[in-house]
Amino acid sequence: NFNKTDFSRVLGLSEGAGWLDENGRVLFGTNQRLLYFHPDSLAQNSYVPPLVFPDLRVLNKRVQPGIDALLKQHVDVTREVVLRHNQNIFSLSFAALEMKYPEAVRYAARLEGFDKEWVYLDRQRVVNYTNLPAGDFVLRVRSTNSDGVWMDNERALKIKVLPSFW
């Protein structure tokens, strides 16, 4: 598969305008002349994009780190978030640092202790959870690379929802 940004111009290909020559090259007639390559010269994308957590929202308000705040450090370097019983509505945004075709990256998330299996989010880069019961959870996020291959780049954030005092 080629993306339209793989080439300096938009290429139009016609059905039946391909050819495999005696040297093993694949040739395509395009609206911009001839495109050819040898299939052995194509390398599979093995880049594993790291995942970052740019934003945490609790009760739909961005959580800023601070001395007396919910977070002491930015959420991307936080390992565990502890929420009070009345803060059990939150969202976490994430992004795979894939610069070649970021629009081609797909995501999946799972809140262990709540979700039974992975939730495939397509291009959506945020998860929302509402009315979580008291308990310990682990939010796991993973992504594909720009070729759509699921990578071993899982990130996790522990979420603890405290019970009410009553």
How do residues 79-134 score in pLDDT, each as one tens digit? 999 999 999 999 999 999 998 889 899 999 999 999 999 999 999 999 999 999 99
**Per-residue confidence at 62, pLDDT binned at 50, 70, 90?**
very high
Q: Is the pTM of this model over 0.85?
A: no
- When pLDDT is averaged across residues 26-37 and rounded to a whole number, the result is 82
Mean pLDDT, the chain, rounded, equals: 90
Q: What are the tens digits of pLDDT across the range 32-50?
A: 787 788 888 877 788 899 9
| 1 pLDDT higher than 70 | no
39, 106, 107, 155 from 62: Cα distances, Å = 48, 24, 22, 20
**Dihedral angle, C-alpha 146, 152, 155, 160, nearest 10 °:** 130
**H-run or E-run covering 45:** none
22, 89, 92, 112, 164 from 134: Cα distances, Å = 67, 12, 18, 13, 8
| 75 pLDDT higher than 70 | yes
Strands 51-58 and 90-96: antiparallel
Q: Supply the pLDDT for residue 120.
A: 97
Quick one: what percent of the chain has pLDDT higher than 70? 95
- When pLDDT is averaged across residues 1-28 and rounded to a whole number, the result is 77
Angle (nearest 5°) at CA 81 between 130 and 99? 85
- When pLDDT is averaged across residues 155-164 and rounded to a whole number, the result is 96
Quick one: what percent of the chain has pLDDT higher than 90? 64
Q: Supply the pLDDT for residue 3.
A: 63
Q: Supply the pLDDT for residue 45.
A: 80
Task: Find all residues with CB under 8 Å of 141, minimum gap 6, and list them.
Answer: 51, 53, 92, 94, 107, 108, 109, 127, 154, 155, 156
Q: Supply the pLDDT for residue 150.
A: 95
Q: Supply the pLDDT for residue 9.
A: 66
Distance CA 159, CA 88 (A): 10
